[in-house]
Amino acid sequence: MEVIEILDPDFRDTSAMLQLNNEHAQETSLLNLESFNALLGSAFFARGVDRGAKAFLIALAHSASYDNPNFAWFQARFAARQKSFVYIDRIIVSHALRGKGIARSMYNELFAAAAEAGIHSVVCEVNIDPPNPASAAFHASMGFTKVGEAAIHGGTKTVGYLEKKLT
């Protein structure tokens, strides 16, 4: 069995990470190199395979400066309760590596890092329309529960907001 080592993405490989990101823009969002570098630069947590070229996860702390409607949704709801969180902005695993436990491993590393930092919730969104049933099933298996829903981008996309409580 092939051993797949999970490492921190290296900024030297942002072009390969960007290519992987943009191949999956329907599930995440299309970015340019400048916006991708800014996202990585503000990350609370970033992990990947082959320095992010084959798979990666990027998550932001609740206090990050990030112009994104989904992140803003969580900020508004959690701020009212004075609750911190880590927001999973994107997770992408190349088709060749799917089914090998890569996403599960990266999520578990994120959960441990968040708990160590005293953060009790990890949040994300999953596409409802257009649907992403594989992502919905994966997140349910990882213990996420739905805490809201919204139509975004002028009603062209509907997302479900999910939370995993760490304690």
Q: 3-state class of 30 per DSSP?
A: coil
Give me the domain span that covers residue 79: 6-120
Please report whether residue 81 resides in a domain.
yes
CATH number at residue 77: 3.40.630.30
Please report whether residue 78 resides in a domain.
yes
pLDDT at 2: 54
Please report whether residue 126 resides in a domain.
no
pLDDT at 1: 43
Asked if the peptide bond before residue 130 counts as cis, ω within 30 degrees of 0, the response is: yes
Please report whether residue 86 resides in a domain.
yes
How many domains, the chain?
1
Q: What is the mean pLDDT of residues 96-108?
A: 92
Whether 135 and 27 have beta carbons less than 8 Å apart is answered as yes
* pTM, entire model: 0.89
At 90, phi and psi to the nearest 5?
A: -160, 145
At 81, phi and psi to the nearest 5?
A: -100, 5
